[in-house]
Amino acid sequence: MERVSEIVLRRKRLVGLLVLLGFLLGMAATPLTVSRISEEYAYPGMESYQANQAVLEHYGSGGYQRPYVPVVVLPAGQTVDSPGVRDALGRAFAGVGTELEARVASYADTGDRRFVSEDGRTTYALVFTGPTADGSPPGGGLGEVPDETPHIIEALQRELPAGSELRVTGLDTLATGVDSGGLNVPLKIGVAAIAAVIVLLMVFRSALAFVPLVISAVAIPVAFLILLVLTLFTEVHDSALTTMPLLGLGIAIDYALLLITRWREEQAHGHRGDEAVHRAMRTAGKAIIFSSGAVAIGLITMAILPIPFLRSLGVAGMIIAAVSALISLTLLPILLATIGRRLDRQRLEQGTGRGERLIQREANAGRLWTAWARLMVRFRWPVALSSATLLVVLSIIGLQINLGLPESRNLADTGPGREGLTALTDAGLPSGVLSSFDVFVPAGVDPGPVADGLRAAEGVYTVVDLPSWRADGTALLTVVPVHESPSTAGAAELAALRDSLPEGVLAGGSAAQTVDYVNTTYGAFPYVLALIFLVTFVMLARAFRSLLLPLKAIVLNLLSLGAVIGAMVVFWQWGWGTEQALGIQPNGTVGTFVPLTIFAFLYGLSMDYEVFILARMREEYDRTGSTPEAVVQGIGRTGRLVTSAALILFFSFASMAGGGEFDVAVFATGMGLGILLDATLIRAVLVPATVAMMGRWNWWLPVWAARLLRVEPSPLRDETPRETREPELTPA
């Protein structure tokens, strides 16, 4: 890295011009990149997705979309068999179909008494609307489609018998989250940037606080330029547009913070100009390289999945991590070498007692973090055991995660949607009506026997088989189950029904697609995890010249991620404190995409902090020959850095949590909780405690392993007695 800094500083103008050119091209390319982004959620290879797409292609409505269920309670003394009532219902529901371009099934057109209560006063219909502009949400987020309820009510009220009570229910009308119009990315980036400025000003107390923001502001457009090039070869989903700026704001600032902090330390030790930059790059630059590699390794999880929107998330994260590292290692050294001291003049001025104290503060480890590290070293066994116990308990809770769709009993307990469901169930009709789904019968297959087989299947309340639901030689059947598909009974019955379908006949709907999504994304996850761990182990073994440190880092990362999933179960699935904190009612699930995306992002980000800390511990151990002193100095010098970086990332994701978008709020709170948990319990407690526990074995790298890794070996050696070490720096 020192060689890189020499090249960069020797060719300041050329490197600066290239970075400026990349920034300007990126700014110009950003609108074009946005225009080339896909908004479609595609799930190639899934049978349910193929069924849903076939339904939309041939019939224009239904498929993944969950039905609206208008519930009509006729006036006292009237039933569906009263003169003129069925005709009125037919006109009313036909008007809904015409006005909304929807597919509608009711008692009026089917004659099926399963659409009517026993007393004949309550009846319902299934209204399947067309797809949203951006396709279906992944795995089944609720409340993310435009609410057609007002239009349905308006169309029905024109024709319903006078005095009828009308309510519209459905899984989307019962949703606890709302679609408030998207993420409003510029606003949320602005909020995150303001929070970052506040944290950076607290850290640097000078104009130098704005330099990490400059690095971030340059890195994000350059990343968009690379994303534009990528769109020429493959489809990129718009999830990349929302994730890349917020993630880039955090990662780029992290890397800049690391390098600037080390440069300040070198300045405080008397090094000036290019020499201070070279010395900072020799250590912090190497940590940035390995940190960006760790982020990329974590995101491989999503980049190799056959789900386009997840792949786009992974690739976007890898791009912004790589670009942030590149800009930090090229533009930042130039800024520090040329205007760094002027920006930091107030802090480096030696003419006053305050200036002397500030310089001394940079020269030595932080007093608070040094004292904390000594405490962790002294009580390493009890703090490690208690912290690990808490993480294990949370990880065990995480095994109870619900990745499916929510049941109606966990959705909104007030409002028109709940009133409609209550009217339905009070009339003796099953809540499984809300989970009605389509079965696509391809050309050449007789739909009659298929419908008869479905009616005979366990858990099927009725099957809609209308002659009008025929197109291009295909047929469409709609299954109305007794139990809601997300329930235990409903899920088992859906699986059995799908297995019983004839060759070529496909079951669609959100529940089936959710099941296929989970199987596709998580089925091969253990193998992907093993590959990630292997690559991470090799990379960190090279970085730290150790066999135990990378193994410890992987184990702690697993504990951290397991604990985050457990915390998500407590917060979102169990609903402890959710409404009080965010004003959103939990729905008993965590969401299909959440654990995977949280793992991919947090694995890299938490390993980011691990590299920062352990790299400094390794450096201090090589200098002092003492593990306790390496822990104390390592934490003392990186504690403030890691805490500040974590706060900035936390605010980046916290800015996403508001607004009411359920899935976005779940993901953002998961990331925020994970970052705070990792920066506190893991990095501030377990890392120093476990390193202190392992003693000299932390640094062991036998000759055979060193030869394989192509690094210098690190044999076991006795801890250097305290009195023979270099004098310890006294915290200011």
Nearest CA to 560 among 383, 699, 398? 398
**Average pLDDT of the segment spanning 627-640:** 93
- Pairwise CA distance, residues 196 & 207, whole Å: 14
**Average pLDDT of the segment spanning 532-557:** 92
- Pairwise CA distance, residues 166 & 277, whole Å: 72
The answer to whether residues 525 and 596 touch, using CB atoms and an 8 Å cutoff, is: yes
pTM: 0.85
How is residue 38 annotated by DSSP?
B
Residue 684 banded pLDDT, cuts 50, 70, 90: very high
The answer to whether residues 401 and 16 touch, using CB atoms and an 8 Å cutoff, is: no
pLDDT value of position 724: 38
- For residue 57, give both structure tokens: 């292609």
pLDDT at 352 over 80: no
Phi and psi, residue 479, nearest 5°: -95, 130
Q: Positive or negative CA dihedral for 56, 59, 62, 63?
A: negative
Q: Rank 253-267, 300-314, 430-444 by mean pLDDT and report only the highest.
A: 430-444
Nearest CA to 362 among 203, 197, 200? 203
- Pairwise CA distance, residues 315 & 332, whole Å: 25
Which value, to the nearest 10 degrees, does the dihedral of the CA atoms of residues 519, 525, 526, 528 take? 150
**Average pLDDT of the segment spanning 473-484:** 97
Instruction: Give the Å distances, CA to CA, from 662 to 126, 295, 651, 721.
Output: 25, 26, 18, 57
- Pairwise CA distance, residues 562 & 681, whole Å: 13
- Pairwise CA distance, residues 195 & 213, whole Å: 11
pLDDT value of position 729: 41
The answer to whether residues 484 and 142 touch, using CB atoms and an 8 Å cutoff, is: no
The residue assigned the tokens 């040094």 is: 370
Residue 217 has, within 13 A of its CA and on its CB side, a CA count of 11
Residue 141 banded pLDDT, cuts 50, 70, 90: very low
Q: For residues 655 and 57, which has the higher predicted lDDT (pLDDT)?
A: 57
pLDDT at 246 over 80: no
- For residue 486, give both structure tokens: 């997300």
- Pairwise CA distance, residues 529 & 603, whole Å: 11
Q: For residues 652 and 704, which has the higher predicted lDDT (pLDDT)?
A: 704
- Pairwise CA distance, residues 288 & 293, whole Å: 8
Instruction: Give the Å distances, CA to CA, from 429 to 166, 252, 482, 666.
Output: 16, 56, 9, 33
Please provide the DSSP assignment of 44-77 as one string. Answer: TT-HHHHHHHHHHHHHSS-TTSPPBEEEEEPPTT
Residue 132 banded pLDDT, cuts 50, 70, 90: low
Residues 6+ apart with CB under 8 A from 632: 365, 370, 373, 374, 377
Residue 668 banded pLDDT, cuts 50, 70, 90: confident
Residue 359 banded pLDDT, cuts 50, 70, 90: low
**Angle between helix 510-523 and helix 488-500 axes, rounded to 10 deg:** 90
The number of beta carbons lying within 10 Å of the beta carbon of residue 95 is 18
pLDDT at 478 over 90: yes
pLDDT value of position 441: 97
- Pairwise CA distance, residues 475 & 440, whole Å: 6
- For residue 197, give both structure tokens: 């400025």
Query: Alpha carbon 402 to chain centroid distance?
Result: 16
Burial of 223-233, coded b for 16+ CB within 10 Å and e otherwise, reads bbbbbbebbee
Q: Positive or negative CA dihedral for 549, 555, 561, 563?
A: negative
Instruction: Give the Å distances, CA to CA, from 372 to 222, 495, 552.
Output: 40, 54, 21
Q: For residues 593 and 72, which has the higher predicted lDDT (pLDDT)?
A: 72
Instruction: Give the Å distances, CA to CA, from 438 to 40, 142, 179, 451.
Output: 21, 18, 25, 11
- For residue 356, give both structure tokens: 């002397």
Residue 353 banded pLDDT, cuts 50, 70, 90: low
How is residue 698 annotated by DSSP?
G
The answer to whether residues 480 and 433 touch, using CB atoms and an 8 Å cutoff, is: yes
Residues 6+ apart with CB under 8 A from 486: 404, 405, 406, 407, 435, 511, 589
**Average pLDDT of the segment spanning 585-600:** 86
pLDDT value of position 363: 57
The answer to whether residues 377 and 384 touch, using CB atoms and an 8 Å cutoff, is: no
> What's at 627, amino acid-wise?
T
The residue assigned the tokens 């569906």 is: 80
pLDDT value of position 14: 96
Nearest CA to 252 among 330, 361, 325, 174? 325
Long-range (24+ apart) CB contacts under 8 A made by 722-728 are 722/626, 722/629, 725/624, 725/625, 725/626, 725/629, 726/623, 726/624, 728/629
pLDDT value of position 142: 45
Q: For residues 354 and 606, which has the higher predicted lDDT (pLDDT)?
A: 606
In this structure, of 7-21, 52-66, 291-305, 717-731, the range with the lowest mean pLDDT score is: 717-731
- Pairwise CA distance, residues 426 & 438, whole Å: 26
**Average pLDDT of the segment spanning 486-504:** 95
Residue 91 banded pLDDT, cuts 50, 70, 90: very high
The number of beta carbons lying within 10 Å of the beta carbon of residue 185 is 16
Q: Rank 239-248, 565-574, 578-587 by mean pLDDT and report only the highest.
A: 565-574
pLDDT value of position 181: 44
pLDDT value of position 205: 85
264-321 tens-digit pLDDT: 989 888 888 899 999 999 999 988 998 898 888 888 878 887 888 888 888 999 999 9
Strand order in the sheet with 122-128: 103-106, 122-128, 69-73, 165-169
**Average pLDDT of the segment spanning 65-90:** 95
Q: Rank 57-61, 189-193, 350-354, 458-462 by mean pLDDT and report only the highest.
A: 458-462
Nearest CA to 70 among 175, 185, 166? 166
The residue assigned the tokens 């997300």 is: 486
162: left (phi over 0), alpha (psi -120 to 50) or beta: beta
Instruction: Give the Å distances, CA to CA, from 520 to 404, 407, 444, 596.
Output: 14, 23, 29, 12
Nearest CA to 505 among 454, 462, 434? 454
